[in-house]
Amino acid sequence: YGYSKHLFDLYAQRHGFLDQVVGVKYFNVFGPNEDHKADMRSLVNKAFQQILATGRVQLFKSHKPEYKDGEQMRDFLYVKDAVEMTIHFADRATTAGGLYNLGSGEANTWLTLAHAIFSALGRPPDIEFIDMPEVLRGKYQYYTRADISKLRSTGYARPMTPLTDAVRDYVRGYLVTGKKLGE
């Protein structure tokens, strides 16, 4: 996405049609119906499986002194919010051209996410920190947060689902039951 997106942005700008298209970048989407993503499934989905199998969740140790283990941060976006944002743009295709970040607009730690998963399952947290694979260490992002001010400027005023509520809905309503979104 990264390099090809950059090339598309430049091409669209150069040829004057950037304001006629809506491009979106989704930040760390999680939620029902993601099983097909295999290794790219969200940590919520993977952690649920780990907890069922072992009773614990594994998170990467930090390799930067400014971040303690588990305090790396991400902007986690519930799929139901991502759908609402996408529909918002479909309804404004002729007036909201440009490129947009779609996320919750806030960064949460991996520990916060893991604790929310255990809480949704009614279990005490059991977290093991493991070494990050060498191949990821130079590429790993320790902090992401979507700037959603441009999204908000288009009139999108819906509040985002709080992380703990979104995790609870996903875990209890879908992962535990095996239900799929849309059923």
Q: Which helix (H) or strand (E) holds 101?
A: strand 98-102
DSSP states of 16-80 as a string?
A: T-GGGSEEEEE-SEE-TT-GGGGGGS-HHHHHHHHHHHHS-EEEEPP-STTS-TT--EE--EEHH
Q: Which two tokens stand for residue 80?
A: 């139901």
Asked if 78 is an active-site residue, the reply is no
What is the DSSP-derived secondary structure letter of residue 174? I
Asked if 1 is an active-site residue, the reply is yes
CA distance 79 to 103: 10
Helix (H, G, I), strand (E, B) or coil at 108: strand
List CB contacts of 10: < 8 A, sequence separation 6 or more. Answer: none
Rounded to the nearest 5 percent, the helix, strand and coil shares of the chain are 45, 15, 40
Q: Determine which one of 5, 25, 37, 180 is catalytic.
A: 37
- Nearest CA to 19 out of 145, 152, 147, 154 is that of 154
User: Which residues are catalytically annotated?
Assistant: 1, 37
